[in-house]
Amino acid sequence: MKKSGVTLVDVAKLAGVSTMTASRALSGEGYASEEMRTKVHAAAKELGYVPNALARMMKGGKTNVIGVVVNDLSSAVINAFVTALSEEVRKIEMDMFIYNSLGDLGHGRGKRLSQMLHGLWDGLLFVLPRMTDDYLEQLEQSASPIVLVNYFSRETTLPVVRGDNVNGAHDAVSHLLDLGHRRIAFVRGMAYTGQSELRERGYRLAHEAAALEVDPALVVGGDFSEVAGLEAGRALMDLPEPPTAIFAGNDSMALGCINAIREKGLEVPKDVSVVGFDDIPASALVQPALTTLRHPVEAMAHAAVQELVRRIQGQPGRRHRIEFPSEFIVRASTAAAPAPAPRARPRARGRRAQA
């Protein structure tokens, strides 16, 4: 089943010229007399000719297409990166396809991905990828240009463009410490992207720098989702000595925490300060607006595309790992720590802080 039936040969035949003339007339490259050009264009139009991109690509060896692989399009963060990448790619006049692997690379269908579609694109960008070790190894041995964006799981020889999570988290927690908070909770995300771990490291380093110990009860599990944040928040606020501030592994969980805090009849930031990570769109719109950290998405997208293009063109990569500092954005969800509770009954106060 042909794509559209009509090929360049048909056009040429109708126009009464050679295929080559037709090709030249249509592509605009090379010499072609005005007469031929109009004749060919007329024929093409009449037949409804549409060039077959596949054939053109095959001939040239280059497709002028960059592929972007994600495994969860519903994530606001991934979305932001994909959109920024689209714009970068458009700037350099290339095309971009997004491929949603629907889950970890290396399992099921994703297993074959990098191979199956090989040849369709000049280079591949992986955004916040989750993959098996096997898969990574396969990628490392792949001949086609690849750049990983925000990959943290393990060391790799592939070029990586990533945001700095440790220092960002450090900044956020230091800010809370500066505001007088001493019981600062951390809500973990899922382990496998590696981001949660790095953010937790920053959280711990900030405590160390202030010569403070982290109460293990204040570090709780989560999975980066809003519901997980809600549950983690409830658990934290139910603690005998609840935290006065929560640093959530990401914004979604931070929003969940805010809801949990409200359920207890407490106010953000008066009673409890909350900080997120990622600066998803909702964070700026919510009440109170969320203090958070954001990766310089546009700059990172730019760097990733540049690096990829460099490799596509066979030039040596600029750098193996490009790291971007995250920007700390102070909004309305953080404030000075509340006056310390009258030692005797911290719980009582927490319960009915306001009617």
Shortest reach from residue 20's CB to a copy of itself, in Å = 20
Report the candidate in 127, 144, 120 with the shortest Cα–Cα distance to residue 312. Answer: 144
Q: How many residues bind a copy of itself (CB under 8 A)?
A: 59
Shortest reach from residue 135's CB to a copy of itself, in Å = 14
Residue 344 binds a copy of itself, judged by CB under 8 A: no
Residue placing its CB nearer to DNA in the complex, 35 or 93: 35
Quick one: residue 102, left, alpha or beta (phi over 0 = left, psi -120 to 50 = alpha)? left
Query: What separation in angstroms does the CA of 20 have from each of 32, 42, 51, 134, 344?
Result: 10, 16, 13, 47, 91
Report the candidate in 212, 220, 203 with the shortest Cα–Cα distance to residue 167. Answer: 203
- Which one of 13, 28, 31, 273 is in contact with DNA (CB under 7 A)? 31
Joined together, the tokens standing for residue 139 give 């990628």
Question: Which residues, at least 6 apart from 290, have a Cβ–Cβ distance to it below 8 Å?
Answer: 251, 254, 255, 258, 274, 275, 276, 283, 284, 331, 332, 333
CA distance 184 to 274: 9
Most distant pair of Cα atoms in the chain: their distance: 98
Enumerate the β-bridge partners of residue 53: none
- Which one of 29, 141, 316, 355 is in contact with a copy of itself (CB under 8 A)? 141
Q: How many residues bind DNA (CB under 7 A)?
A: 28
Stretch that binds a copy of itself, among 171-179, 191-199, 223-231, 299-307 (CB under 8 A): 223-231
Residue 117 binds a copy of itself, judged by CB under 8 A: yes
Contact track, a copy of itself, 16-35, x by CB under 8 A: --------------------
Contact track, DNA, 8-27, x by CB under 7 A: xx-------xxxxx-xx-xx
Shortest reach from residue 313's CB to a copy of itself, in Å = 8
CA distance 49 to 166: 55
CA distance 297 to 329: 14
Contact track, DNA, 59-98, x by CB under 7 A: xxx-------------------------------------
Joined together, the tokens standing for residue 33 give 């007399």
Judged by beta carbon distances under 5 to 8 A according to partner kind, the member of a copy of itself, DNA, none in contact with residue 144 is: a copy of itself
Residue 50 binds a copy of itself, judged by CB under 8 A: yes
Judged by beta carbon distances under 5 to 8 A according to partner kind, the member of a copy of itself, DNA, none in contact with residue 226 is: a copy of itself
Residue 116 binds a copy of itself, judged by CB under 8 A: yes
Contact 145, 308 (CB under 8 A): yes
CA distance 146 to 305: 10
Point out which residues bind a copy of itself (CB under 8 A): 1-6, 48, 50-55, 57-58, 61-63, 73-74, 79-80, 82-83, 86-87, 90, 95-100, 102, 109, 115-120, 141-144, 226-227, 230, 255-256, 259, 262, 281-282, 285, 287, 312-314
